[in-house]
A and B are shown apart, each in its own frame.
Chain A
Amino acid sequence: DAGVIQSPRHEVTEMGQEVTLRCKPISGHNSLFWYRQTMMRGLELLIYFNNNVPIDDSGMPEDRFSAKMPNASFSTLKIQPSEPRDSAVYFCASRRLAGGPYEQFFGPGTRLTVL
């Protein structure tokens, strides 16, 4: 069974460019999470969706960040324009709403570097 799939795995871009990160959750999972991890701030929840609906985006740092989930098997996190301080590892995770919080599975992450 495939786990959470994220693409790209690595992204290097220049300041001001648009960045789009992609996530495919585990089949049957109806809750999806976007996290950002840095040495300074640890693992931060940016936004999460239940049944494709955004529930809490209070962790999105600025209006430059946006996320969508057009269907149950795909989500995107977009940064426009990107800045060097956005450099981090971005994780997508998914779980079944009917399950417990311990059923949250993480993807391998996208390592973003903004020059």
Chain B
Amino acid sequence: QKEVEQDPGPLSVPEGAIVSLNCTYSNSAFQYFMWYRQYSRKGPELLMYTYSSGNKEDGRFTAQVDKSSKYISLFIRDSQPSDSATYLCAMSAEKTSYDKVIFGPGTSLSVIP
């Protein structure tokens, strides 16, 4: 079993739809949960992060963490064509400076005008 699993998609939605992206993980030591957005032929860029459990909202984006289920989600409200990208979840225990960030494989999202 991989440490972090994510449905690769592709996911195609009409403009204005609510998008739900999800990841599951197996390592209960993970404390930091991040979402990266990667446009075609670009490097990943941090979208938002959450520490431990709970929700975090930033504009149209909401990140949720459920540590009891080892499940995280990213919701995008009022999706726009500019949201078309690959979204990678990433996690880290960060208990020492030697802890690595583990990335999910990414979900490809297309928002159709």
Contacts and interface: CB of A to CB of B under 8 A. Distances in A.
Interface of A: 4, 31, 42-43, 45, 48, 50, 55-56, 91, 93, 97, 100-102, 104-109, 111
B42 A108 contact: yes
Interface string B85-105: 000101010100111110111
Q: Is the interface of A mostly helix, strand, loop or mixed?
A: strand
Interface of B: 32, 34, 41-46, 49, 88, 90, 92, 94, 97-101, 103-106
Given A43-B88, A101-B90, 13 more contacts: A4-B43, A31-B97, A42-B88, A45-B101, A50-B98, A97-B97, A100-B32, A100-B94, A101-B32, A101-B99, A102-B34, A108-B42, A109-B42
A42 B3 CA distance: 13
A104 B92 CA distance: 12
Contacts of B106: 42-43
Contact of A56 (B32, B49, B100): B100
- Nearest 3 CB-CB pairs, A to B? A106-B43, A42-B105, A102-B49
Contact of B98 (A4, A56, A93, A109): A56
Nearest to A44: B103
